[in-house]
Structure 1
Amino acid sequence: MEYTDYDTRLASYAVVTDGDRVLLARLSWPDAGLWTLPGGGVDLDETVEEGAVREVREETGYDVVVEELLGVRSHVVPPERRKHRNGRPMKAVQVVHRARVVGGSLRHEAVGTTDLARWVPLDELGTHRHGILVVQALRWAGVGAV
């Protein structure tokens, strides 16, 4: 399949830790109840770093500074699983950076794709339903055993 036959979504995420805790956000759509890293779609006029900063602020209330690139993950979303259904598959490209909190305070996203933000102890991560991105990103970051 040629690149003109599918859509691509660029998203940026942050691994934010505080000691033995990681900052996560709970999805309200499309996988309601699934915990993920704070992050999401990068706007056309943003860099991936700017997108991560904005998304962390929107989803958690924290201001962060983006540090090193940890990795890039991609996967295909079939047409029937897309939020905006147009009959085309989508390649999701997820860029993950380490980030650190420099301001703000924890709060939940009022209107968006997440409904809860929380510091989750790494040893309790297994009790929270989370996606593969969390596992992969924590491995890239060398944080805890997941």
Structure 2
Amino acid sequence: MHFTEYDTRVAAYAVIVDDAERILLSWFNGNHRTEPGWTLPGGGVDYGEQLPAAVVREVKEETGYDVEVGAPLATNVYVVPFQPGRRPYQSTRVIFEARIVGGELGTLEVDGTTDFAEWVTLEEAAQVPESAADIIRVGIEAWRAQSAR
């Protein structure tokens, strides 16, 4: 399918793991379009915005933390096929490693798609239900591969 025949969204996400082997996740409320569930902090990149700047902005909005963005860990493509009344859709997602440099836990987003953020052990996060965002598993696997080097 030619790129003019579907909608594309570019998104940037952060994997933030603390010294206690916990990962920071945000609770996506579903926005009346899909089931609510855990995801990595992050989201859509604004027009003209650089991906690392989008990570900084999104993490602050969703978690209350200020972050320093590291290297990209992985890319991932999520596809929603054609549905009546809606064009096919592709989300191209870039996952970055990040570390907290300030702020405090608390969602700053008002009337957005994130209700709250929470620290979850890597073990718990790796076992989230299949209905949860697959990007969590992609992020954890990429972070572990990077950490093993």
Please classify the TM superposition score into its range, dividing by the shorter chain length.
0.7 to 0.9
Distance 1:96 1:120 in 2: 18
Aligned position for 1:112:
112
Aligned residues: 140
Give the residue type in structure 1 aligned to 2:12: S
Partner residue, 2:27: 26
Aligned-pair Cα RMSD in Å: 2.0
1:98-125 CA deviation, whole Å, 9 max, x = no partner?
A: 0000010000233211111000012222
Name the SS for the 1:107 alignment partner. Answer: coil
Q: Provide the rounded CA distance (Å) in 2 between the counterparts of 1:104 and 1:41.
A: 22
Partner of 2:121: 121
1:10 aligns with 2:10: yes
Relative to structure 1, is the Cα distance of residues 25 and 11 closer, same or farther in structure 2, using a 3 angstrom cutoff?
same
What is the distance in 2 between the residues matched to 1:99 and 1:126? 19
User: Could you tell me the TM-score, scaled by structure 2's length?
Assistant: 0.86
Summarize deviations over 1:39-86 as a string: whole Å, max 9, x none.
000001211111111000000000001001101100211344xxxx96
Taking the aligned partners of 1:9 and 1:114, their CA distance within structure 2 comes to 18
Opposite residue 136 of structure 2, the aligned amino acid is V
1:75 to 58, 74, 78: 78
* Correspondence for 2:54: 51
2:93 paired with 1:94: yes
Give the 3-state SS of the residue equivalent to 2:17 in structure 1: strand
Residue equivalent to 1:136? 138
Residue 17 of structure 1 aligns to a residue whose secondary structure is: coil
Moved over 2 A (4+): 30-33, 108-111, 123-130
Distance 2:58 2:85 in 1: 25
- Share of identical aligned residues, percent? 42
Determine whether 1:62 maps to 2:54.
no
TM-score, normalised relative to structure 1: 0.87
CA distance in 2, matches of 1:2, 1:126: 35
